[in-house]
Amino acid sequence: MERLIIVIAVLPLVSALLIQLFAGRIGRDIARVSVAFTTLSFLLSSLLLWWALIGYGPQTLSLGYAGTIVLFDPLSTLLAAIILGISLIVHLYSVRYMAEEAAYGQFFVLLDLMTAALLFMVIAGDLITLVIAWYLVGVLLYFLLGQDTRSQTAYRFAFWTLITYRIGDLPLILAAALLYNAYDTWSLATIFAEIMADPYAHEVMGLPLTEVVAALIGFAAFARSAQFLLHTWLPYTMDGPTPVSALMHAGIVNAGGFLINRFAPVFIHSGGVLNWIFVVGLITAVFGSLLMLTQNDIKKALGYSTMGQMGFMIMECGIGAFSLAIYHMFAHGVFKGTMFLSAGSVINNARQDDGIPKDELYTFAVEKQPNKARQPWLLMAAITLAVPLVILVFAHLLVAENYYQKQGAIVLLFFGWVTGAQLIFATYRMRSQNVWRLVGLSVLSLVVVVLGYVFISHAFDLFLYPDPAFRAQLYSAATIDLLPFEVLVVITTLIIVSGWVVTYYMEQSDYSRRQRTKRLWLNFYALISREFYISDIYTRLARTLLAISGRLNVWLRWL
């Protein structure tokens, strides 16, 4: 039965081959062939996921071809079902969306090949298959993003994506070479077993092999998941077809979280690397969320939103919550993929009629005309801080009594508290005539979201990592020294408190002070709107390198 996992990965390849061979005969019906094969593959993946849920496996399957190995385990079955579910939706959407494109058949061939590459990536049980699939995903994405050959912008940023992915491929290839050189096998299961038995048996230039490999894997994940300074390709690839933008969230942008989870036995013995992964994820989450707010293009705003979410996903890995990152990957993939597919309808409806009722939320968010009625400032501050904290503590006590003994869990609770406080703070600023109704709805939605998030993420934890000792090791490896941890908490708390102080100061100040403060905010907005000049710096650097290479060509007479 477990060999069905090979079938679900091969079916998209068969579909791509049939379309390529018979596209001239069946014409536009090629879409039906692609959809039919994807549907069958998705149904089989759902069956395999059910078997994994009832406790069947894990199994290591050897295909006997150049040492190719396939893994049937909770991680591979879950991600295969997610990839195929989103891919099926994208296939159905593309039937009509791409109907006017000249390369209609080519698009479905590439779509099937991308689905197959993603599937082989998540079920790979050996380093060679994993590296090849990882590489092919980047190449196929380049062709999908450049589907419209008439668009110079789409071609340019497709090439930009390809270059960024190649930067991320090199660390993974080097990590695979180091592991093979140390353990003389390509099998991931064998390598992980030997690492667990003796994690410090091998060194590289005086450093433990596990830490070097973990750092390389982390860097590869950064490039694929658009982490800060390697993120510029993501928001600018929105000129590609909308179905491709949606498919990117099925396992392409999210692949960094998968890769870190696949090498979890390595990260157990690389706590310092996990700490740096947390820092990078935190910076990415903050920058992505800020940049999202200033975009006037709906798809680009969704791209920066994805950057922020990928930062949260990597940050969760950095605190040892590996299974939570997979849940984040699943929830974000479904949610954001749906948003991309509906972006066109939203734009079309907005052009005809904004359809926005002139209610309290619209008045506050769009017209910037808050109502005059408001509640006492100190009372709302107390509610803002206390209510989310009580909800979060109670929800996590329901799933695990010892939850608060883990440092990583405290970090997650802290950021959850900040998010909840921000929600109620926004309600306070709306100055609604019936503020208690809005606060009640906000608290109710927060309770529903937190309870669902806690229970589902706890279920993912038990499914993906059923060994409690292994889960404890993951959280233990991510523990940081007490002083940096306290400094992080103090800095974040000061940021929250400063938000309240600035708001209170602006409301109590006179007109001249408000104008000076307004100018400061405008300067800050200008900085964000230029995306902190990171893209400009990269563009200037590229032009400088091209100019230098041109001069070298002249001096050395190569051309």
Question: Would you give the DSSP letter of residue 204?
Answer: E
Q: What angle do CA 385, 479, 319 make, to 5 degrees?
A: 65
What is the largest distance, in Å, between two alpha-carbon atoms of the chain? 78
Structure tokens that stand for 423 in this block: 């929600």
Using alpha carbons, select from 409, 440, 403 the residue that is nearest to residue 423. Answer: 440
Q: How many residues does the chain have?
A: 559
207 phi, psi to nearest 5 deg:
-105, 145
How many Cβ atoms from other residues are within 10 Å of residue 85's Cβ? Answer: 19
Would you say residue 283 has pLDDT above 80? yes
Parallel, antiparallel or unpaired: strands 207-208 and 203-204: antiparallel
Global pTM reads 0.84
The answer to whether 210 and 199 are in contact (CB under 8 A) is: yes
More confident residue, 278 or 446: 278
**pLDDT tens-digit series, residues 22-72:** 877 877 788 899 999 999 999 999 999 999 988 887 888 887 666 788 999
3-state secondary structure 133-185: HHHHHHHHHHHHHCCCCCCHHHHHHHHHHHHHHHHHHHHHHHHHHHHHHHHCC
**pLDDT tens-digit series, residues 73-114:** 999 999 999 999 999 999 999 888 887 777 888 899 999 999
More confident residue, 547 or 556: 547
**pLDDT tens-digit series, residues 154-186:** 778 888 888 889 998 999 999 999 999 999 999
Q: Which residues contact 243 (CB under 8 A, 6 or more apart)?
A: 90, 93, 94, 97, 98, 111, 341
String of DSSP letters for 499-533: HHHHHHHHHHS-HHHHHHHHHHHHHHHHHHHTGGG
| CA 275/CA 272 separation, integer angstroms | 5
Owner of token pair 């800060």: 228
**pLDDT tens-digit series, residues 365-421:** 444 444 455 556 566 666 666 766 676 666 666 666 665 556 566 666 666 666 666
Please state, rounded to an integer, the average pLDDT across all residues of the chain.
80
State the number of CA atoms in the 13 A half-sphere of 249 facing the CB.
Answer: 31
